Amino acid sequence: MIEQHDQDLDDDQDLDDPLAEVADFDQFFAEQAKPRRGVPLRLFGRTYTLPPSLPALYVLQLHRVMNSASPEDVSRLLAALFGPDAVDHWADNGMDDRQLGIVLMWATANVAEPGAMSMEQAAAEYDRREAIKAGKARRPATTARPKNRPKNKGKRSNSGRR
C-alpha cells in the first residue's frame, strides 16, 4: 500500500533509509524506449501522424466508450490519436459510421504494429464484425452430415401408412 508521505517525495529529498532504492520508472522507460515514428495517414485533405504507441488516455477512454453512446466520449477517445479537432473535421466532410469504424480499426492495428493491417483488410474486418452484430454472419461452407442415414423403406412419414 502506498502511503501519502511516500507520494510527496521528490527527486531532491533523501529517504529516511539511505539503503532504500527508489524504483525509478523514468530511468527504466528511458532505457527501454526505442525511437519510433508514428504512421502517417491522410484523411479529408489532412495528414495525421499516429502516435508511436497507444496513449494511456486512449486505452482508458476506450473502456469508457465501450459502454457509452455519447459523442463527447468518442471525440475524446479519437483526440488521443488524431488531435482535438479531427472528429469535427471528419464530420464536416461527411464521414459515415462505416468509414469511422474502418479508420479506427486500421489506426489501432497500425499503432500497435506499423504495417499490420491494410485499409482493405480493415474494411473487410469491419464488415465481418458488423455482419456478426447484425446476425448476418455466414454459416461455415461445410456442415457435418451423418454418413449412415436410416433408410426410409419407401414410406413417407406423413402418408398415414404404418
**C-alpha angle 123-118-68 in degrees, rounded to nearest 5:** 50
Task: Match 507520494 to its residue by C-alpha cell.
Answer: 7
Local structure of residue 90 (DSSP, 8 states): H
How far apart CA 138 and CA 132 sit, in angstroms, is 9
Q: What is the pLDDT of residues 47-76, one digit of tens each?
A: 999 988 888 888 888 877 877 778 888 888
**Model confidence pTM above 0.75:** no
pLDDT digits (tens, 9 = 90+) for 106-140: 998 998 788 999 999 999 999 999 999 888 655 55
Q: State how beta strands 40-43 and 46-49 pair.
A: antiparallel
* Grid cell listed for 11: 527527486
